[in-house]
Structure 1
Amino acid sequence: MSYIERGTNAFKRVNLALFAGGFSTFAILWGTQPLLPEISKELQVSPATSSLVLSSTTIALAISMLISGSLSEVFGRKSIMALSLALSSILSILTALSPDFHLLILTRVLQGIVLAGLPAVAMAYLGEEIEPKSLGIAMGLYISGNSIGGMSGRIISGILTDYINWHAGLIGIGIITLISSFIFCLLLPPSANFTPKKLMLKPLMKSLISHLKEPALICIFIIGFLVSSIFASLYNYIGFELIKPPYNLSQTLVGFIFIVYIVGTFSSTWMGSLSDTHGRGKILYISLFILLTGSCITLNTTIWIKILGIAVFTFGFFASHSIASGWVGKVSTHDKAQASSLYLFFYYGGSSINGTASGLVYSNLGWNGLVTLIASFSVLAIGTAACLVSITTKKSKYVNRGVLSRTQTVNKREHKRR
């Protein structure tokens, strides 16, 4: 195999291309989040109903990711990713032109379907094309594009909405991501180590079901579902809270609150590094506790303390998500890409279902009720993490005992020979 080496022009092109691709995907996916209060007001729907603008996209994305990865095995990595980015950018502009709420949801569902092409395939492309010793930095740059795209999409759409309207916000996102998509197609080298395969559904489903029989993986999937539910519950409705008295913040200022994503970019890297040194279980506990603490801090009505709480919450979320998603590859014994796709399926499923369901709690019980729900999910996640640690510890002891037993048997045989 001919790998792309660090320091070469090809390596720089791959990193810039996938940074642009990750930026586009997450700017489109999350760019509507700060617009929910305006959409709710203009289209005369409740906060919970307006959250379907996000939830419909993420659930479509979750389901489609299980399919996109398989299609890329047949039609190629770059072609699926390029088509995904181009179509989702065009749909972003069409979404802005939606005359009513139902058509808005339909276009967002279509966006979720086509958006799945990049996140489902990008990591497989990097794993195949980048030299193993440089894969970590390449993956980190791709993830940073995701994070910066999610942050920038929210800020840009918030500013454009404040000065013009939410339609202009979505058109702006569409134009920027269309340019990013062009950069992606221009720079990304074609796959050199990819071999097309026949699409066979039976082995795919058999492998999929086998992952769902692994207790440790089930625990990780549940944690992904819960932390995503928590994240969507807070960020979907913090805008509604901050545009009301006593805060009365503008859409621009609400959009800039998402700059705390920078904290998450740092925490995912730092806490992930600590988990390698001190153990994933211990750092996952700490991350989930930080998540819980941050949500409770937001109960304070002082604006700066509330924003501090959001920052602490974001730190804990990104750390938890990073450790849980990284744990999948360590626990799964086969078809690791498929196992990762399943994790993302549960992850986006959580934000889709509870991102909307928590809106009913917020509408009826206010911010205090929403934080109580978030705290409950956090406690459940901590309990699931305890089960995960117990399962993996027992499995590790069993494996070590088996290795020790085999070693002792070999030693006895060698001793008899002597």
Structure 2
Amino acid sequence: MITVRSPAWWRATLALCLGSFLVFINLYAPQPLLPELRNVYGVSTLGISLIMSVSTLALAGALLVFGPLSDAIGRAAIMRVTLLLTALCSVALAFAPTFESLLALRALQGFLLGGLPAVAIAWMGDEFDRPALLSAVGLYIGANSLGGISGRLIGGGAGELGGAMAGFLAVGLLTLAGVALFWKLLPPARAFTSRPFELRGALVDLAGHLRHPLLLAAYLLGGINFLIFINQYSYITFRLSDEPFGLGARLLGMIFLTYLGGTVSSMLSGRLAGRLGQPVCMILGILILMGGTLVTLSGSLAWVIAGLTINAFGFFLAHSMASSWVSRHAEKARGSASALYLVFYYVGASLGSAWLEPFWQLGGWSGVVLGSWMMLVVTLAIAVWLWRREWSAQRVQLAGN
């Protein structure tokens, strides 16, 4: 097993962080362009949000394919090939002639983007010991946030200079260069044991994960939190593009620098989990997310940015804990267990606009905050339940000793 901070750990972690960075650059590049694209194509806020929703929904479906498949054929080839095809899709998006073709390409790209997230944490679970896994997962999820920031900055900046399609082209070319480095860095797997792929066996594994209460709770927590967090960013772009703020695509892209709050919390998550335990960190993360959401009600742009930064810190703390919790508690078929967590995660993202749109129509941003809190109360209750289960299990263990 690879131990924490060994040369092999650094190389593998760097490779997987780079892969994660590339995935999220491609996934989120269009987000700061939504107000411009809404005007160009003459569609509603809900309609233009499909650019994000179709890709996240396709990504969720892909996880059900790549996770079980990786248990049979290995993880590395899936990550390498899907990243390469993702880059080619971004280049093709730059030349999409219609809104319908743009949506179709985004759906295809979303499916390909599922390759690396479906198996990366399972790869770590195979190759790393537990301390190495906890530390690597925090850095890996930190790379998610950096990729999300960079994609939006590149998409917004290139879009303001050369139109929306210039953003896709810039991201595609950058991804091609990154894929070449990823292929070189990723070390060969040494602890992976393949299992013959059987559809019935894969379905049995998935059903077993869904019947496992500790896994199902983490799945729901991650999916509902992401439903709120990522779609808040979509609706905040509409709010900040209108008066009195009037921000353009480039400045809207810079709003996503607030994701750096998530980068910090992800990197701290391993140490916090060691001191407080994973469920307590989930509770803390959700409370921080709830507090940051209230701060965004301010009419000051500076306070809105502060609130979004707080949100990112809280969300990524809870997310890193929930995702590593799944890898820790999966009794078998880690690939499909981690993939199923991400299915809930991205299905949540794709459903968020449908949940928040009525609140937006009725109450603007205040309505979005209300809709957010209604869901976050649910995830807070789930995290408290996980904490009570773990505390009870520890008491039983101590009594047995």
- Answer yes or no: is the 8 Å Cα contact 2:137–2:320 preserved in 1: no
Other-structure match for 2:212: 214
The corresponding residue for 1:205 is 203
Partner of 2:372: 374
Alignment correspondent of 1:95? 93
TM-score, normalised to structure 2, is 0.92
Structure 1 residue 118 corresponds to structure 2 residue 96: no
| Displacement of 1:272 | 4.7
For 1:40, the aligned partner's letter is R
Corresponding residue for residue 169 of structure 2: 171
Query: Could you say if the C-alpha distance between residues 301 and 187 of structure 1 is closer, same or farther in structure 2, counting changes exceeding 3 Å?
Result: same
Q: Measured at CA, do residues 210 and 397 of structure 1 come closer, stay the same or move farther in structure 2, by a change above 3 Å?
A: farther
Is the aligned partner of 1:150 residue 2:178? Answer: no
Does the CA-based 8 Å contact 2:224-2:375 persist in structure 1? Answer: yes
Decide whether aligned partners of structure 1 residues 136 and 395 sit closer, same or farther in structure 2, where only a CA change above 3 A counts.
Answer: closer
The answer for the alignment partner of 1:161 in structure 2 is 159
1:62-81 to structure 2, matched below 5 A, reads 62-81=60-79
2:253 corresponds to: 255
Query: What SS does the aligned partner of 1:288 have?
Result: helix
* Structure 2 counterpart of 1:36: 34
The amino acid of 1:100's aligned partner reads T
Counterpart-to-counterpart distance in 1, 2:4 and 2:285? 34
- Unaligned 5+ runs, structure 2: none
The answer to whether the 8 A contact 2:117-2:339 is kept is no
TM-score (normalised: structure 1):
0.88
Counterpart residue number, 1:343: 341
Query: Match of 1:45, SS?
Result: coil
Aligned length: 401
CA shift, 1:254, in A, is 1.2
**Paired position in structure 2 for 1:412:** none
> Aligned runs of 1:14-413 on 2, under 5 Å?
14-129=12-127, 134-398=132-396, 403=400
Computing the radius of gyration from Cα coordinates, the structure with the larger value is 1
- Contact kept? 1:52, 1:356, Cα under 8 Å: no
Q: Which moved more, 1:134-143 or 1:105-114?
A: 134-143
Cα gap change, 1:96 to 1:219, in 2 (>3 Å): same
Structure 1 residues 353 and 6, CA, compared in 2 at 3 Å: closer, same or farther?
Answer: same
Q: Offset at 1:251?
A: 1.3
The offset of 1:327, in angstroms, is 2.4
Relative distance call for 1:334 and 1:75 in structure 2 (3 A) is closer
1:295–1:264 Cα change, 3 Å: same
- Distance change (3 Å), C-alpha of 1:118 and 1:185: same
CA shift, 1:303, in A, is 1.0
| Equivalent residue letter for 1:375 | W
CA drift at 1:76 = 3.1
Give the drift of 1:141. Answer: 4.0
> How much does 1:383 deviate?
2.1
Which residue identity does 1:218 align to in structure 2? L
Which residue identity does 1:168 align to in structure 2? A
Residues 118-166 of structure 1: CA distance to partner in whole angstroms, max 9, x if unpaired? 1112223334445766445544443333221111111111101111211
Distance 2:188 2:178 in 1: 18
Distance 2:3 2:286 in 1: 37
Comparing 134-143 with 212-221, greater Cα deviation is found at 134-143
Aligned CA distance change for structure 1 residues 54 and 176 (closer, same or farther; 3 Å) = same
Q: Percent identity?
A: 36
Query: Does the 8 Å contact 2:84/2:176 carry over to 1?
Result: yes
Unaligned runs of 5+ in 1: 405-418
